[in-house]
Structure 1
Amino acid sequence: MATSCIPAPCFVHGLYALPTHSKLLSSLQDKAVNAMPAENPSTSLTTLKALAVASLVTIAAAAAVIWIAVSQHERQLQSLRTETVERLGRIRANIESTLNGSLTLTQGVAATIHAHGQLTDAEFATIAEQLVGSRRDVRNLGVAYGTVLRQVYPRLGNESAIGLDYRQNPKQWPKVEQTIQSGKTVVDGPLPLVQGGIGVISRTPVVRPSTPGGPASYFALVSIVIDLSTLLDQAGISAPDVGLNLAIQTNGQVFHGDSKLLEQNPVELDISFPGGVWRIYAVPASGWPSDWWRQDPVISMIGLALILAVAATSFYAAFAWRHRTRLYESLRESESRYRHLLDTAPAAIVLHRQGRIIFSNREAVRLMAAHDPEDLLDRPVLDLLHPDYHSVVTDRLAALKAPGDEAPPLRQKLITLDGRVIDADIASSAVMIGGELAVLAIAIDTTRSVRAEAQRQAILDDLQRSNDELRQFTSAASHDLQEPLRQVATYVQMLERRYGPVLDQDGRDFIQYAVDGVIHMRRLLHDLGLYAQVKAAGAPLKRLEIGPILDRVRESHDDQLRRLGGRIDHDPLPPVMGDEGQIQQLLNNLLDNALRYSRIGVPPRINVSAIRQGAFWLFRFRDNGIGIAPEYQSSIFDVFTRLHGISQSQGTGFGLAICRRIVERHGGQIWVESEPDQGSTFLFTLPTA
């Protein structure tokens, strides 16, 4: 069968050489029997010989007992060390499983971003929630596009991290830069966390073409923060029945346990994970056995030398045999689990050497429409690939020159044994099998997702066309309706001039209402056109100085400010990346709003300031006007929304909606903080220059 090509883990091969001591016992017994003297007729001579033989036997027995005691002590120590290694191995396996399971979450997110590009916040939250699940050791999972952290899960409690530019963080940037330059996952830690405790940080870069068919380059960085204490608790290291004193070390520094334990002749194992190795040390909780003469006093053993030797040796032989048998069974179970894990993996797994398949799991058999693994065994790999991908795959395989070399996931087309063409994401890595270099390929069927993505893109294209047509219609309508309205206003005003003297007050009021209505409608159409063109007709973003723009806006409102006795103050304002016309429109609308809703009899006081927040500037536009009731604060940025009950409002309901659209076009956010009769503060963010 093809599965026979996978060897069991080699670290168990040495467990079959445990020594036995039955030959040693037989040799001692034979020597004792052969040393017994023959009887002699002479009593004295016999006595002397008996005493001599007894002395010799006693000395030999004493020497044998001492030798056996020493040997037994060493065997017990070795047995205890073996048992300690076994128990430590289980702990090591738990830590590796938990740690690797959490660290590789970044690869899942990275693979999704590599395949689909930048994720929306909702997509990221859904993927992160599915991946993290109930893992208590994961503090947070984040994605930085470029060098700016854009998405964090869970978001609650981590809001302040969003927008962090790693280049501005001297503590994290060196490791981030190392990750980006290496193109591989880099693990940092254990190290103290800002939130408290000790943690491990894994960062995985995402490399993808910036344009379809273009060269691959760095695109994003996926990071995960793992709480070390929770990780170790989940691995059972603090369980009351663990029976071991432990210490864990990395780079010569002990970060868990007592460093003095390293002076107690501990057993040690390596904890391996992507990007690093820890070393774990252990001694039994009760310590190693004391010196042999304290454990087995010579006086007690002289009287029962042979009996105790036989009993101790027999017992130890039985124990050693039982221990070896248990290790053998454990090895068989471990190998069975290893094979079962490969065969039941949800991804197709294939091993090939020199271009020919030597192993395929159950999912690979299903994916390629084979009947059993034998159908794929010894088959050339290129026979299963679409010809369009032969050169690409050949180059990827040629780059896998040493164990550990990896080829990142690449979407390819496969040809099944029944002739169908399917899509799959395939990642490869070089491994050693039987002393020879082979390639481990993992494939995930993406046929359905590719089809769904094509359908989704078609829907998005239709939606984009509809939006474009709607914007064109809105722009045309707002422009083409201006002229009829102008004519209506002109003729109504002509009626007023010609027939005003013969009209009563009601007639003149009616004419004024008509003129005001036309003027209001023209303002509505003008603002509607502005709203529709914010995104469609915006200029490219460039470096802007906010101060001069604010000064121009203030000058355009000088008459109104003098009439109201108002004043505008501002702190030194920073440069931003923006569309000059739209930024001026934003400030103009906010100033219009502040003056329109000023308190009667109170001169308007307006202050503009800004503070840095990561890659953005947070601007505060504060006034001392009538304020906004809480029930309106969540809706004032919607189209056609005006404050109810404000008789002096002459707005169209577009001003703040245009503000929000301008800010969002610049990648920022806008909101309001206000209390009635206490004024309002409009806060918005713009990208730094």
Structure 2
Amino acid sequence: MDLILAHKRVMKVCELTGFSLIIQTSIATAISEIARCAIEHGEGASLKLGIDGTATRKYLVARIEDSIDFSLKCQEALNYAKRLVGNIEVIKTPKGIQIMMKHLLNFSGTFTPGKIDSYADYFKNEPAISPYDELRRKNLLLQEFADKIRDSEDDYRTLTDSLPLMMFTLNNRGQLTYSNKWIEQFLGIPPKEITAAAWQNIVHPDDYATFNRAVTAALQKATPLKGQYRLKEKGSGNFVWHMITALPLKNEKDAQVKWMGFMVDIDAHRLAEKTLKDNMDLKEVQEKLFENQQELQTKIVELNRSNYELEQFAHLATHDLQEPLRKLFFYADALKTKYHDKFDASGLNMLKNMTNAVSRMKELITDLLNYSQLHQQKLDFNPVDLNVTVQDILKDFEITIQEKRALFDIGPLPLVNGHALRLRQLFSNLISNALKYSKKEVVPHIQISVSQTDEKFVFLVKDNGIGFEPQYKDRIFGLFERLHTRDQFPGTGIGLSICKRIVELHHGHISATAVPGEYSAFEIELPMAAVVN
């Protein structure tokens, strides 16, 4: 509907500004071709029509602009439009793309602001139209043209070639006796080769049987042929909907002598029909959704209340559990220190196991509290220098690094727009895992690097540790997921879950790859919008 309206308004503007009918059609067709591409490949294109220039030279100007560059996908349409208008310029701007089309005005009058405002008022008050009405007007226009060009074959050829329609004439045997240049350009077949058999390769297989019956009946009965069929376009190989009309023409003796016809691209019209049907289906769905809206809102209120209560419970539970754990740890340590001589080896081992259990419980509660806070928290982003962040983390692990004699290979890292504390927690967890899951008797070697694509930065944290089986690459990010026993490697199984949530809060993605016994690698993708140059 937008495409049809654009065509109609351009035609009217051309009429108001004094262009001939042929020039009107050429300009409107050129603009419609670009508009069709903008509708198909753009995101929110707009068309503006106006008058520009100096006091002595005025131009009719059409500007189609969009936030994305759709011109790469419509080069054929641009070339076609340039053949019709000529003065077309593609301008790329920081906000997107503009396609400017200009045509010199021959109108001798004066274009005052009041006159231009009257044009705008006309379009504001014009009645609504339908796609069918637009096609009907084109058919009437073509009939008028056909009557005017009978007397001159040269004029006929010039005129038909200037129209953006495929026009032809047939003899009584159905053979093509004349065609304008658009038929060969669209079909990619010389007119002499368009025989009755050739149409089977031109018309869509699903439409051919109906098309063949209609043509046969029209030729036998000398009745008009009218129908909508899909024709194969040479350039793209796509089938495009066309309205095909062929009218029998008689001589002065009322004898049938030939057929004259034309094929009009109605792909936009068919698309409008399909969109209308889809909108009706959508309306039914919307009505059903509206019926459930109240129930949904009630459930949302209940869910919000439940989430709030769960947040309060998690906060209180984690804090209330800390106090008895501290007492258990204190009394266990006091027993071990004050009554060390009164315990045998078995008793001391029990105290040790109790202390370790308390430490694991405290670590688990702390990790749970951190994970819970991530789901509740809305992060405020600020510039964060990851070079400084990683160096601070290495200082925190200085003792472990010295004990394991770990080696680090860290490349230059960018300035990231994010939450400093959470990004530090992210890289701290990954470095901690790399140190923790290192191989015995092998010096840990940890690499941290970054690469850049058009839309994102990709950070890589890779080690030469024990690795893991490939089937666990998604599972390891789950809550409480562990691939080893606590006797082998300590931990709660929450660290990577926290990493995953932090990356998601920064609108990114984290993934893992590994080879058992060779290495583990964690890849963090952050969109360019989250990075400060």
Q: Residues 640 and 654 of structure 1 are in contact (CA less than 8 Å); yes or no, is this contact kept in structure 2?
A: yes
Aligned residue for 1:122? Answer: none
Aligned counterpart, 1:285: 191
TM-score (norm 1): 0.41
Distance 1:323 1:563, change over 3 A: closer
| CA distance in 2: counterparts of 1:347 and 1:667, whole angstroms | 33
CA distance in 2, matches of 1:673, 1:347: 44
Alpha carbons 1:268, 1:281 under 8 Å: kept: no
Higher relative contact order (CA closer than 8 Å, sequence separation 6+): 1
Q: Where does residue 459 of structure 2 map in the other structure?
A: 619
Aligned to 1:190, which of 64, 68, 74? 74
Counterpart in the other structure of 1:318:
255
- The CA distance in 1 between the partners of 2:488 and 2:321, in whole Å, is 27
Q: Tell me, which stretches of 5 or more residues in structure 2 are unaligned?
A: 1-7, 9-31, 46-62, 82-94, 97-155, 167-179, 185-189, 195-249
- 1:551 and 1:566 mapped to 2: Cα distance? 14
The answer to whether residue 468 in structure 2 is matched with residue 628 in structure 1 is yes
Kept in 2: contact 1:538–1:582 (CA 8 A): no
| TM superposition shift of 1:482 | 0.5
Residue 389 of structure 2: aligned partner: 549
Q: Kindly indicate whether the alpha-carbon contact (under 8 Å) linking 2:44 and 2:66 is maintained by their aligned counterparts in 1.
A: no
Alignment of 1:149-164 (within 5 A): none
Q: Distance in 2 between matches of 1:492 and 1:631?
A: 42
Residue number among 508, 514, 529 corresponding to 1:674 in the alignment? 514
Equivalent residue, structure 1, for 2:446: 606
Q: Which residue is 1:567 aligned to?
A: 407
Name the CA distance, whole Å, in 2 between partners of 1:452 and 1:613. 44
Q: Report the 3-state secondary structure (helix = DSSP H, G, I; strand = E; otherwise coil) of the residue aligned with 1:628.
A: coil
Q: Aligned residues: percent identity?
A: 27
SS at match of 1:281: helix
Q: Distance in 2 between matches of 1:494 and 1:287?
A: 103
What is the SS of the residue equivalent to 2:338?
helix
Matches within 5 A, 1:255-654: 267-270=161-164, 281-282=182-183, 285-286=191-192, 317-319=254-256, 346=277, 446-453=286-293, 455-644=295-484, 647-654=487-494
Secondary structure of 2:255's aligned partner? helix
Contact 2:379/2:505 (<8 A) preserved: no
Alignment correspondent of 2:66? 179
Bigger radius of gyration: 1
1:688 correspondence with 2:531? yes
Aligned-residue offset at 1:649 = 0.8
Q: Distance between the aligned counterparts of 2:80 and 2:383, measured in 1?
A: 40
Equivalent-residue separation in structure 2 for 1:485 and 1:664 (angstroms): 33
Deviations 1:525-559 (A, max 9, x none): 00101111114235401111100000000000011
Deviation per CA, 1:571-601: give whole Å up to 9, x if none.
1101111100001111111111011100101
Question: How large is the Cα RMSD of the aligned pairs?
Answer: 4.7
Contact 1:189 1:199 in 2 (8 A): no
Q: Which moved more, 1:609-618 or 1:501-510?
A: 609-618
Q: How much does 1:492 deviate?
A: 2.0
Deviation at 1:488, TM superposition (A): 1.2
Give 1:268 deviation, angstroms. 5.0
Q: Structure 1 unaligned runs (5+)?
A: 1-8, 10-95, 112-175, 193-197, 201-219, 222-261, 273-278, 289-312, 349-362, 364-423, 426-442
Residues 508 and 451 of structure 1, relative CA distance in 2, 3 Å threshold = same
Distance 1:282 1:645, change over 3 A: same
Query: Which SS does the other structure have where 2:475 is aligned?
Result: coil
Q: Which amino acid aligns with 1:317?
A: D
Show CA shifts across 1:68-90 (max 9, x none): xxxxxxxxxxxxxxxxxxxxxxx
Q: Secondary structure at the match of 2:441?
A: coil
If the length of structure 2 is used for normalisation, what is the TM-score?
A: 0.52
AA partner of residue 591 (structure 1): I
Give 1:178 shift: 2.7
Residue 657 to residue 446, structure 1, CA distance change in 2 (3 Å): closer
Q: Is the 8 A contact 1:190 1:199 kept in 2?
A: no
Shift of the 269–534 alpha-carbon distance from structure 1 to 2, 3 Å rule, reads: same
Measured in 1, the distance between the counterparts of 2:276 and 2:420 equals 56
1:48-74 alpha-carbon deviations (Å, 9 max, x no partner): xxxxxxxxxxxxxxxxxxxxxxxxxxx
Whether the 8 Å contact between 1:670 and 1:683 is mirrored in structure 2 is: yes
Shift of 1:469: 3.0
In structure 1, distance between residues paired with 2:330 and 2:462: 40
Deviations 1:26-69 (A, max 9, x none): xxxxxxxxxxxxxxxxxxxxxxxxxxxxxxxxxxxxxxxxxxxx
Contact 1:347 1:444 in 2 (8 A): no
Note the alpha carbon deviations across 1:612-647, whole angstroms, 9 max, x for none.
Answer: 233431100011111112232221111111123574
Aligned to 2:192, the other structure's residue is in SS state coil
Indicate if the aligned counterparts of 1:271 and 1:280 stay in contact, CA closer than 8 A: no
Number of equivalent positions? 329
Give the CA deviation at 1:190: 2.8
